[in-house]
Amino acid sequence: NAGVMQNPRHLVRRRGQEARLRCSPMKGHSHVYWYRQLPEEGLKFMVYLQKENIIDESGMPKERFSAEFPKEGPSILRIQQVVRGDSAAYFCASSHLRDRNNSPLHFGNGTRLTVT
């Protein structure tokens, strides 16, 4: 997992604050995916991005959540006005387009968001 870097590892926010989660993909990877894992549950797809483009955001809540992957810099998952139900582990994964079907996703170690 060392290739995909996520920070911070732990994030504590009070209700109503904003949370910003960052993800740097593996070197050479131009595709980023965000997943959310609630306690005792599997990972749920949120959004798939390429550089400067959102490809699939079908798993993103309609409000308060947004994601970007700029030309330069890490991918950002932003949660506005956080609520306690947003408390979860958020994982980022990356892949190379050419290998998408032959080389599955590589995950980071996640950001654990706690909303108090």
Partner 1 sequence: QKEVEQDPGPLSVPEGAIVSLNCTYSNSAFQYFMWYRQYSRKGPELLMYTYSSGNKEDGRFTAQVDKSSKYISLFIRDSQPSDSATYLCALIIQGAQKLVFGQGTRLTINP
Residues that bind partner 1 (CB under 8 A): 1, 4, 33, 35, 40-45, 48, 55-56, 59, 91, 100-101, 104-110, 112
Residue 49 DSSP label:
E
Residue 98, φ and ψ in degrees, nearest 5: -60, -30
Query: Minimum distance between the CB of residue 16 and partner 1, rounded to whole angstroms?
Result: 27
Of 5 and 76, which CB lies nearer to partner 1 in the complex structure? 5
Query: Minimum distance between the CB of residue 1 and partner 1, rounded to whole angstroms?
Result: 5
CA 13 from chain centre, in angstroms, equals 17
Of 64 and 106, which CB lies nearer to partner 1 in the complex structure? 106
CA–CA distance, 100 with 116 (Å, rounded to integer): 38
Of 1 and 81, which CB lies nearer to partner 1 in the complex structure? 1
CA–CA distance, 47 with 37 (Å, rounded to integer): 13
